[in-house]
Structure 1
Amino acid sequence: MARIAVIGGTGYAGRNIVAEAVNRGHTVVSVARTLPAERVEGVTYVEGTLLDVPSLVAELEGVDVVVVATSPRGDMAGKMRPAIAELVAALPADVRVGVVGGAGGSLSEPGGARLVDLDFPEEYKGEALEAIGVLDDLRATPAERDWFFVHPAEIFGAWNPGERTGSYRTGGDVVVRDAEGVSNLSGADLGVVFVDEIEQPKHSRERFTVGY
């Protein structure tokens, strides 16, 4: 079993990853700026923020995998990318890093345009571009740094929680759509995606898309 830390572990994506990991028997540390009133049994909750990387790294001592499930919005807008780069550089070389990206960096088709460059909601473009910048920074890290970056489906979020099916498809660089052209994924199944990748790594230093 792995010791997994989830930064942003009380947010929508983060808490689903936390729940799936602890249910599978992993040791899980949920890191957030405030401690939640409702907690998942078996999870260790600590206060921490990407905006204070030295203190955060001290809290993460001994973990095998660090998952970053924060969003570049509010007071994190424009700050998340440099903070993640600082964190990755400060972590021990043998700690694997996983990042929850957005759908915007997915390609519309093989060799096609990114979703963010097509008919993409204007209010979310800044977040999408910052997440893409995080991916660019990960790709520039030394070869010994292992990481993976996940693009959830277009229809993904607390407004559409869905259910845990335990199944999903991956699409490499291309957005995953079903037979009706819909790109969808529940929060619980994003948790499945992350813990599957942690338990059986298939995307070393790669990004990949997921959906039904």
Structure 2
Amino acid sequence: MSNVIVFGATGYAGGHIVTELVTRGHSVRGVARSLPESAPEGVSFMAGSLHEADFVREAVSDADVVVVALPASATTEGGPRLVDSTPAVIDAAIAAGARLGVVGGAGSLQVAEGGPQVMDLEAFPAEFRPEAANHAEVLQALRAAPADLDWFYLSPAGGFGAWAPGERTGTFRLGGDVLLADDQGQSNISGADYAIAFADEIEQPAHSRQRFSVAY
């Protein structure tokens, strides 16, 4: 089993990933800005920030896998974006010999092969566009990372979030850079099923230095 550290472990995606990994018997440490009042059995927590390079380097030093499940935009006005701290995370993962897995966004997926990005569509909600654009920059930074970094970036379906938690089904499809949708044009994935796909990639790497996607 792997030693996995999850930044953003108390968030929606991070929380589901932590639960799935613990269920599978992995050793999991969660990182959050403040310690939760209660934690899932089998998970240890530490308080800290991905935006503090020294802390990140020390925190991931014995990790096999580093998971980043954080908003891509700044959480405080004038604060750092995820892409601003990505170089330090990359360096720390390389130094530790760890694989880096990132919870990505759906906005940078293409509508169709060779087509526009989802976030460039007129129908894409304007209030979500900054987060989508920041996530796209994180993906670009990973693609430009040194060759000795093994990373993956998993983009969820368009309908993914705490507002649409869904259920655990264990049945879903994996794709690449094109948004997956069903016959009715709906693109959805539950938090639990997203976590299954993420944990599967940790256990059986199939997308080295790639972005891939998941949906029903």
TM over 0.5: yes
The 8 Å contact of residues 154 and 213 in structure 2, kept in 1 or not, is answered as: yes
| Distance apart, 1:73 and its partner CA | 4.5
1:78 Cα deviation after fit: 5.0
Asked whether the equivalents of residues 4 and 63 of structure 2 are also in contact (C-alpha less than 8 Å), the reply is yes
Matched, 1:2 2:2: yes
Match of 1:115 in 2: 118
Q: Per-residue displacement from partner, 1:51-81 (whole Å, max 9, x unpaired)?
A: 2121122122211000100002522865211
Matched, 1:176 2:177: no
> In 1, Cα distance between the equivalents of 2:213 and 2:195?
14
Quote the residue 2:87 is aligned against: 85
Residue in structure 2 matched with residue 160 of structure 1 by the alignment: 164
| Higher mean C-alpha displacement, 130-139 vs 77-86 | 77-86
Distance 1:7 1:93 in 2: 16
Unaligned stretches of 5+ residues in structure 2: none
Deviates more, 1:53-62 or 1:156-165: 53-62
Deviation (angstroms), 1:142:
1.2
Which amino acid in structure 1 is aligned with residue 76 of structure 2? D
In angstroms, what is the RMSD of aligned CA positions?
1.3
Q: CA deviation at 1:170?
A: 1.1
Name the TM-score, length of structure 2 as normaliser. 0.94
- Amino acid across the alignment from 1:126: P
Flag structure 1 segments of 5+ consecutive residues without an equivalent.
none
The aligned counterpart of 2:75 is: 74
Instruction: Give the partner amino acid of 1:74.
Output: T
- Are residue 151 (structure 1) and residue 152 (structure 2) matched? no
Q: CA deviation at 1:94?
A: 2.0
**Quick one: distance in 2 between partners of 1:162 and 1:39?**
22
Task: Output the CA distance in 1 between the equivalents of 2:37 and 2:171.
Answer: 30
CA distance in structure 2 between the partners assigned to 1:62 and 1:168 by the alignment: 32
Per-residue CA deviations over 1:62-112 (Å, capped at 9, x if unaligned) read: 110001000025228652111122211233262100111111011101111
Q: Identity rate of aligned residues, in percent?
A: 47
TM-score normalized with structure 1 length: 0.96
2:61, 2:96 within 8 Å by CA — same for their partners in 1? no
**In 1: Cα distance, 2:148 partner to 2:90 partner:** 12
What is the CA distance between 1:193 and its match in structure 2?
Answer: 1.0
2:128 equivalent in structure 1: 124
Query: For residue 36 of structure 2, what is the aligned residue in structure 1?
Result: 36
Provide the rounded CA distance (Å) in 2 between the counterparts of 1:82 and 1:74.
Answer: 13
Residues paired across the two proteins, number: 212
In structure 1, what is the Cα distance between the partners aligned to 2:61 and 2:141?
23
Task: Output the CA distance in 2 between the equivalents of 1:58 and 1:78.
Answer: 20
Partner of 1:29, secondary structure, is strand
Q: Which residue of 1 aligns with 2:143?
A: 139
AA aligned to 1:75 is T
